[in-house]
Amino acid sequence: EPRAPPEKIAVIGAGIGGTSAAYYLRQKFGKDVKIDVFEKGKVGGRLATFNVQGQEFESGGSVIHPLNLHMKRFVKDLGLSAVQSPSGLVGVYNGETLVYEESSWFIINMIKLIWHYGFQSLRMHMWVEDILDKFMRIYRYQSHDYAFSSVEKLLHSLGGDDYLGLFNRSLLETLQKAGFSEKFLDEIITPVMRVNYGQTTNINGFVGAVSMSGTDPGLWAVKGGNKLVCSRLLQASRSNLVSGLVMSIEEKTRTKQTGNPSKVYEVVYQTGSETHSDFYDIVLVATPLNQKMSNINFLNFDPPIEEFHQHYEPLVTTLIKGELNSTVFSSRALNEFHLGTVLTTDNPDLFINSIGLVSPVEEDSNPQPKADIAHVWKIFSAAPLTKEQILKLFVSYDYAVKQSWLAYPHYTPPEKCPSIILHDRLYYLNGIEFAASAMEMSAIAGYNAALLAYHRWNGNTHMIDQEDLYERLKTEL
């Protein structure tokens, strides 16, 4: 006899992790289960937009890789469309000068790269491609309904001990061992880690490779804003959105209509000034369990649910509509300055991680910096910019808006990923961010948690943590 589906499931957090989990929970458990998605802020979470004089721009997660197949599938299945992300010329500034500057001629770029760094850029490309190739195995596993009970087991299934080793060692150590030079690491790799993760090559090798893949061609975004994926997933999952702050979760015994006592979780939440509670068979936590970000109390669990003290990196996104002062970066005036993005090296005197031209979420265009025209620039910095700092970067500006984030984990390898199974039917998605934080990673975690919850509910232990999946699935038609 198959087990009756659960009556009620709670998902905490309506970012891409929580909404994709709700979508897959509906697919697995069917139409009768009631799914409540709790959100204390806005649907989308770290996918959000800014309004600059009537136009919307991405302020959080902005670019998606062409091989991020869940995001691609969502856009197709949910009736959305994609726009190409701006791919202007990139330069690297070290606080004194541009140490590297891209040209619009492919052949000149190749010559420059070889001249400065030999064949290291090609070797780096091959290193990232190999990691990405193995990463793609997750789609096959998930399409066959396989689930993992820990992030480490998931990573191991993708590429064995070598893959797990990437996660356990710093990018610096891995690349130094592979023979990459200090100059290449300082001038090319560190600036990419700074723009993408606000950190240096001390992050783990896996997130380092993900970050490098964020420089591949063909990056895209969702027309109208990436956060639209979350609201459409919610709709498609026919979940009930509860706009409230979850304060605590506690296991209770409850007698159901059948007369049998069963274990459920009581979720206590606040909407406005009112406190409510409700009971759930299964709970998925889809927000970082960090006091500053979610502050959920797990009451009376025996043994207690482990506490997570992992630190998230503060990061400020500032959008400025203005005329760039290109002479900060080079001796050239703006009409001879063709860079669309300036990355920076790890110099403590620099107050920005990066600055780049951006397009509104509706547009496919590729803006080019032009003199006398106010463009919109996006700046990432560790701290809010002062007016003096803005006036150093811009000859003049019409508008500035900023958003502060606790953006991604502060990566300190070797580290343990938080557990996915916190308790019998209580799951945690965001541990995956300690391998790498990206939209696609949260979507993978959402799918995995839905599959895990489903298989554990139905006792399908053979669908969880299977070894040698890649070899086994290769021979399957």
Ligand X SMILES: Cc1cc2nc3c(=O)[nH]c(=O)nc-3n(C[C@H](O)[C@H](O)[C@H](O)COP(=O)(O)OP(=O)(O)OC[C@H]3O[C@@H](n4cnc5c(N)ncnc54)[C@H](O)[C@@H]3O)c2cc1C
Ligand Y SMILES: CC(C)=CCC/C(C)=C/CC/C(C)=C/CSC[C@H](N)C(=O)O
Q: Which residues bind ligand X (CB under 6 A)?
A: 12-18, 38-41, 45-47, 60-63, 245-246, 286-287, 293-294, 296, 315, 317, 405, 407, 430, 437-440, 442
**Total residues in contact with ligand Y, by rule CB under 6 A:** 20
The dihedrals phi and psi of 226, each to the nearest 5 degrees, come to -65, -25
Rounded to whole angstroms, how far apart are CA atoms 143 and 311?
Answer: 33
Binding partner of 265, given ligand X, ligand Y, none, CB within 5-8 angstroms per partner class: none
Binding partner of 356, given ligand X, ligand Y, none, CB within 5-8 angstroms per partner class: ligand Y
Q: Which is nearer to ligand X, 41 or 261 (CB)?
A: 41
Q: What element of type H or E holds 373? A: none
Binding partner of 381, given ligand Y, ligand X, none, CB within 5-8 angstroms per partner class: none
User: Left if phi > 0, otherwise alpha if psi is -120 to 50, otherwise beta: which for 225?
Assistant: left
DSSP of 19-87 = HHHHHHHHHHH-TTSEEEEEESS-TTTT--EEEETTEEEE-S---B-TT-HHHHHHHHHTT--EEEPP-
**Min CB(15)–ligand X separation in Å:** 2
Q: Is 195 in the site for ligand Y (CB under 6 A)?
A: yes
Q: Which amino acid is at 215?
A: T
Sequence-ordered list of residues with C-beta below 8 angstroms from that of 460, at least 6 positions apart, any chain: 454
Binding partner of 431, given ligand X, ligand Y, none, CB within 5-8 angstroms per partner class: none
Binding partner of 135, given ligand X, ligand Y, none, CB within 5-8 angstroms per partner class: ligand Y
Q: Is 316 in the site for ligand Y (CB under 6 A)?
A: no
Binding partner of 39, given ligand Y, ligand X, none, CB within 5-8 angstroms per partner class: ligand X
At 261 the three-state DSSP class reads strand
319, 441, 450, 469: residue in contact with ligand Y (rule CB under 6 A): 441
**Min CB(107)–ligand Y separation in Å:** 26
Rounded to whole angstroms, how far apart are CA atoms 186 and 374?
Answer: 32
Cα torsion 124, 125, 127, 131: sign: positive
Q: Is 127 in the site for ligand Y (CB under 6 A)?
A: no
Sequence-ordered list of residues with C-beta below 8 angstroms from that of 50, at least 6 positions apart, any chain: 56, 57, 58, 59, 317, 319, 401, 403
**Min CB(453)–ligand X separation in Å:** 17
Q: Is 356 in the site for ligand Y (CB under 6 A)?
A: yes
Binding partner of 210, given ligand Y, ligand X, none, CB within 5-8 angstroms per partner class: ligand Y
**Min CB(474)–ligand X separation in Å:** 29
Rounded to whole angstroms, how far apart are CA atoms 278 and 416?
Answer: 32
Closest CA to 33 of 209, 282, 403: 282
Residues in a beta bridge with 249: 267, 298
**Min CB(454)–ligand Y separation in Å:** 24
Site mask, ligand Y, residues 54-73, x = CB under 6 A? --------xxxx--x-----
Q: Footprint of ligand Y on this chain (CB under 6 A)?
A: 62-65, 68, 132, 135, 195-197, 210-211, 213-214, 356, 378, 437-438, 440-441
